[in-house]
Chain A
Amino acid sequence: QQQVKQSPQSLIVQKGGISIINCAYENTAFDYFPWYQQFPGKGPALLIAIRPDVSEKKEGRFTISFNKSAKQFSLHIMDSQPGDSATYFCAAPVKYGNKLVFGAGTILRVKS
Protein backbone atom coordinates (compact mmCIF):
# COMPACT_ATOMS: atom_id res chain seq x y z
CA GLN A 1 0.00 0.00 0.00
CA GLN A 2 1.29 3.39 -0.98
CA GLN A 3 1.78 5.72 1.96
CA VAL A 4 2.72 8.75 -0.12
CA LYS A 5 0.24 9.95 -2.73
CA GLN A 6 1.62 12.26 -5.41
CA SER A 7 -0.28 14.24 -8.01
CA PRO A 8 -0.55 14.92 -10.86
CA GLN A 9 0.97 11.98 -12.74
CA SER A 10 2.03 14.29 -15.55
CA LEU A 11 2.12 18.01 -16.10
CA ILE A 12 2.69 20.24 -19.10
CA VAL A 13 3.63 23.86 -18.42
CA GLN A 14 4.56 26.72 -20.69
CA LYS A 15 8.01 28.22 -20.35
CA GLY A 16 7.90 30.88 -17.67
CA GLY A 17 4.89 29.37 -15.95
CA ILE A 18 4.54 27.86 -12.48
CA SER A 19 4.68 24.10 -11.99
CA ILE A 20 2.97 22.71 -8.89
CA ILE A 21 3.25 19.13 -7.68
CA ASN A 22 1.47 17.89 -4.57
CA CYS A 23 2.07 15.10 -2.10
CA ALA A 24 0.08 13.73 0.80
CA TYR A 25 1.45 11.36 3.39
CA GLU A 26 0.03 9.19 6.13
CA ASN A 27 2.18 8.63 9.19
CA THR A 28 5.84 9.47 9.42
CA ALA A 29 8.63 8.52 11.78
CA PHE A 30 10.06 12.02 11.78
CA ASP A 31 9.76 15.25 9.86
CA TYR A 32 11.89 15.21 6.75
CA PHE A 33 10.36 15.68 3.32
CA PRO A 34 12.60 15.69 0.24
CA TRP A 35 11.93 16.14 -3.44
CA TYR A 36 14.04 14.29 -5.98
CA GLN A 37 14.52 15.12 -9.66
CA GLN A 38 15.26 12.50 -12.28
CA PHE A 39 16.33 13.01 -15.88
CA PRO A 40 15.92 10.22 -18.46
CA GLY A 41 18.55 7.51 -18.11
CA LYS A 42 19.81 8.88 -14.80
CA GLY A 43 19.26 8.17 -11.16
CA PRO A 44 17.19 10.52 -9.02
CA ALA A 45 19.04 13.39 -7.35
CA LEU A 46 18.01 15.47 -4.36
CA LEU A 47 16.45 18.74 -5.46
CA ILE A 48 15.27 20.30 -2.21
CA ALA A 49 14.17 19.08 1.22
CA ILE A 50 12.37 20.52 4.22
CA ARG A 51 12.52 19.69 7.91
CA PRO A 52 9.30 21.29 9.01
CA ASP A 53 10.23 23.53 11.82
CA VAL A 54 9.29 25.92 9.00
CA SER A 55 6.30 25.84 6.67
CA GLU A 56 8.19 26.86 3.56
CA LYS A 57 11.65 26.52 2.11
CA LYS A 58 12.90 28.27 -1.00
CA GLU A 59 15.99 27.55 -3.06
CA GLY A 60 16.20 29.61 -6.19
CA ARG A 61 13.13 28.91 -8.33
CA PHE A 62 12.13 25.90 -6.24
CA THR A 63 9.92 26.14 -3.15
CA ILE A 64 8.53 23.50 -0.80
CA SER A 65 5.35 24.39 1.05
CA PHE A 66 4.41 22.22 4.00
CA ASN A 67 1.08 21.84 5.80
CA LYS A 68 1.61 19.59 8.80
CA SER A 69 -2.00 19.53 9.96
CA ALA A 70 -3.18 18.42 6.52
CA LYS A 71 -0.19 16.05 6.09
CA GLN A 72 0.52 17.59 2.73
CA PHE A 73 3.49 19.22 1.05
CA SER A 74 4.04 20.61 -2.40
CA LEU A 75 6.77 21.63 -4.82
CA HIS A 76 6.48 24.89 -6.71
CA ILE A 77 8.75 25.63 -9.65
CA MET A 78 8.63 29.29 -10.57
CA ASP A 79 9.55 30.56 -14.04
CA SER A 80 9.64 26.97 -15.32
CA GLN A 81 12.27 26.27 -17.98
CA PRO A 82 12.60 23.51 -20.59
CA GLY A 83 15.62 22.25 -18.63
CA ASP A 84 13.26 21.53 -15.73
CA SER A 85 11.57 18.83 -17.81
CA ALA A 86 12.11 15.69 -15.73
CA THR A 87 10.36 13.31 -13.38
CA TYR A 88 9.88 14.57 -9.83
CA PHE A 89 9.42 12.38 -6.77
CA CYS A 90 8.36 13.37 -3.31
CA ALA A 91 9.26 11.19 -0.34
CA ALA A 92 8.44 10.82 3.32
CA PRO A 93 9.91 8.68 6.09
CA VAL A 94 7.52 5.87 7.04
CA LYS A 95 6.38 5.59 10.61
CA TYR A 96 8.23 2.37 11.30
CA GLY A 97 11.79 1.75 10.28
CA ASN A 98 12.98 5.22 9.35
CA LYS A 99 12.83 4.43 5.65
CA LEU A 100 11.94 6.84 2.87
CA VAL A 101 8.82 6.00 0.88
CA PHE A 102 8.53 7.67 -2.51
CA GLY A 103 5.51 8.94 -4.36
CA ALA A 104 4.66 7.55 -7.79
CA GLY A 105 6.35 10.45 -9.57
CA THR A 106 5.26 13.36 -11.77
CA ILE A 107 6.51 13.72 -15.32
CA LEU A 108 6.95 17.41 -15.99
CA ARG A 109 7.28 18.81 -19.48
CA VAL A 110 8.00 22.48 -19.96
CA LYS A 111 7.14 23.69 -23.44
CA SER A 112 9.32 26.39 -24.97
Chain B
Amino acid sequence: NAGVTQTPKFQVLKTGQSMTLQCAQDMNHEYMSWYRQDPGMGLRLIHYSVGAGITDQGEVPNGYNVSRSTTEDFPLRLLSAAPSQTSVYFCASSRGTTGELFFGEGSRLTVL
Protein backbone atom coordinates (compact mmCIF):
# COMPACT_ATOMS: atom_id res chain seq x y z
CA ASN B 1 0.00 0.00 0.00
CA ALA B 2 2.37 2.72 -1.22
CA GLY B 3 -0.24 5.45 -1.85
CA VAL B 4 1.57 8.74 -2.50
CA THR B 5 5.35 8.58 -2.37
CA GLN B 6 7.54 11.68 -2.16
CA THR B 7 11.30 11.92 -2.52
CA PRO B 8 13.53 13.18 -1.09
CA LYS B 9 12.28 13.54 2.48
CA PHE B 10 14.91 16.16 3.31
CA GLN B 11 16.96 18.47 1.13
CA VAL B 12 19.26 21.43 1.73
CA LEU B 13 19.93 23.78 -1.17
CA LYS B 14 21.94 26.92 -1.68
CA THR B 15 20.27 30.00 -3.11
CA GLY B 16 20.12 29.78 -6.88
CA GLN B 17 20.35 26.00 -7.11
CA SER B 18 17.67 24.00 -8.86
CA MET B 19 16.09 20.74 -7.89
CA THR B 20 13.09 18.50 -8.46
CA LEU B 21 10.80 17.07 -5.83
CA GLN B 22 9.41 13.76 -6.99
CA CYS B 23 5.87 12.53 -6.41
CA ALA B 24 4.35 9.25 -7.48
CA GLN B 25 0.98 7.66 -6.73
CA ASP B 26 -0.22 4.15 -7.41
CA MET B 27 -3.97 4.69 -6.97
CA ASN B 28 -4.68 5.67 -10.59
CA HIS B 29 -5.91 9.08 -9.42
CA GLU B 30 -6.48 11.70 -12.09
CA TYR B 31 -6.06 14.69 -9.79
CA MET B 32 -2.67 15.53 -8.27
CA SER B 33 -1.47 18.64 -6.49
CA TRP B 34 1.42 20.21 -4.65
CA TYR B 35 1.06 22.17 -1.41
CA ARG B 36 3.55 23.95 0.78
CA GLN B 37 3.11 24.13 4.53
CA ASP B 38 4.48 27.03 6.52
CA PRO B 39 3.84 27.85 10.20
CA GLY B 40 0.67 29.89 10.61
CA MET B 41 -0.09 29.71 6.89
CA GLY B 42 -1.69 26.31 6.60
CA LEU B 43 -1.42 24.42 3.35
CA ARG B 44 -1.16 26.56 0.24
CA LEU B 45 -1.71 25.16 -3.22
CA ILE B 46 1.22 25.60 -5.60
CA HIS B 47 0.18 23.74 -8.76
CA TYR B 48 -2.29 21.05 -9.62
CA SER B 49 -3.14 18.69 -12.44
CA VAL B 50 -6.47 17.16 -13.45
CA GLY B 51 -4.87 14.56 -15.69
CA ALA B 52 -1.84 13.69 -17.78
CA GLY B 53 -0.77 16.65 -19.90
CA ILE B 54 -2.92 19.15 -17.97
CA THR B 55 -1.57 21.44 -15.25
CA ASP B 56 -2.66 24.72 -13.73
CA GLN B 57 -1.54 27.23 -11.14
CA GLY B 58 -2.67 27.38 -7.54
CA GLU B 59 -2.33 30.17 -4.99
CA VAL B 60 1.47 30.41 -4.86
CA PRO B 61 2.93 29.21 -8.18
CA ASN B 62 5.82 31.65 -8.60
CA GLY B 63 9.24 29.98 -8.65
CA TYR B 64 7.86 26.52 -9.32
CA ASN B 65 7.23 24.46 -12.44
CA VAL B 66 5.33 21.23 -12.89
CA SER B 67 4.61 18.75 -15.63
CA ARG B 68 2.39 15.68 -15.84
CA SER B 69 3.50 13.23 -18.50
CA THR B 70 1.94 10.18 -16.84
CA THR B 71 -1.00 9.58 -14.50
CA GLU B 72 1.37 8.32 -11.80
CA ASP B 73 4.00 11.07 -11.59
CA PHE B 74 3.83 14.77 -10.82
CA PRO B 75 7.27 16.32 -10.19
CA LEU B 76 7.72 19.81 -8.79
CA ARG B 77 10.72 21.79 -10.05
CA LEU B 78 12.40 24.70 -8.31
CA LEU B 79 14.27 26.56 -11.01
CA SER B 80 16.36 28.91 -8.85
CA ALA B 81 15.86 28.26 -5.16
CA ALA B 82 15.32 31.19 -2.79
CA PRO B 83 15.27 31.25 1.03
CA SER B 84 11.53 32.05 0.84
CA GLN B 85 11.02 28.56 -0.58
CA THR B 86 12.18 26.97 2.66
CA SER B 87 9.13 24.92 3.59
CA VAL B 88 7.61 21.50 3.87
CA TYR B 89 6.14 20.36 0.56
CA PHE B 90 3.29 17.91 0.25
CA CYS B 91 2.07 16.10 -2.80
CA ALA B 92 -1.52 14.90 -2.84
CA SER B 93 -3.80 12.97 -5.15
CA SER B 94 -7.50 12.28 -5.39
CA ARG B 95 -9.96 10.52 -7.65
CA GLY B 96 -11.50 13.85 -8.59
CA THR B 97 -11.27 17.48 -7.61
CA THR B 98 -13.90 17.03 -4.92
CA GLY B 99 -12.82 13.74 -3.45
CA GLU B 100 -10.63 12.80 -0.52
CA LEU B 101 -7.07 14.04 -0.88
CA PHE B 102 -4.36 11.49 -0.11
CA PHE B 103 -1.13 13.14 0.98
CA GLY B 104 2.45 11.98 0.89
CA GLU B 105 4.62 12.25 3.99
CA GLY B 106 6.23 15.47 2.86
CA SER B 107 9.59 16.80 1.71
CA ARG B 108 11.34 19.24 4.00
CA LEU B 109 13.36 21.76 1.99
CA THR B 110 15.82 24.26 3.41
CA VAL B 111 17.30 26.95 1.18
CA LEU B 112 20.36 28.68 2.58
Chain A positions within 8 Å of B, measured between CB atoms, are 2, 4, 6, 9, 30, 32, 34, 36, 41-46, 49, 89, 93, 97-105
**Count of A-B contacts judged by CB separation below 8 Å:** 56
Closest 5 CB pairs of A and B: A43-B103, A102-B43, A104-B42, A98-B97, A102-B42
Beyond the given pairs A42-B106, A102-B44, A104-B40, 10 more chain A to chain B contacts, judged by CB atoms under 8 angstroms and listed by A's residue number, are A34-B101, A44-B103, A46-B100, A49-B100, A89-B43, A93-B97, A98-B98, A99-B45, A102-B42, A104-B42
Bits for B78-112, please: 1 = Cβ < 8 Å to A, else 0: 00000000000010100001101111111000000
Question: Which residues of B lie under 8 Å from residue A36 when comparing CB positions?
Answer: 101
Chain B contact residues, majority secondary structure: strand
Question: Are A34 and B43 touching (Cβ within 8 A)?
Answer: no
Question: Are A44 and B100 touching (Cβ within 8 A)?
Answer: no
Q: A43-B103, A99-B58 are in contact. Are A89 and B42 (CB under 8 A)?
A: yes
Question: Are B42 and A43 touching (Cβ within 8 A)?
Answer: no
Partner pick for B105 among A41, A99, A105, CB 8 A cutoff? A41
CA gap between A93 and B99 in the complex, in Å: 11
Partner pick for A43 among B41, B56, B59, B90, CB 8 A cutoff? B90
Q: Does B48 contact A (CB under 8 A)?
A: yes
A22 to nearest B CB, angstroms?
Answer: 14
Question: Which residues of B lie under 8 Å from residue A2 when comparing CB positions?
Answer: 42
CA gap between A100 and B103 in the complex, in Å: 13
12 contacts between A and B (CB under 8 A): A9-B40, A30-B98, A46-B101, A89-B43, A99-B33, A99-B45, A99-B58, A100-B45, A101-B59, A102-B43, A104-B41, A105-B40
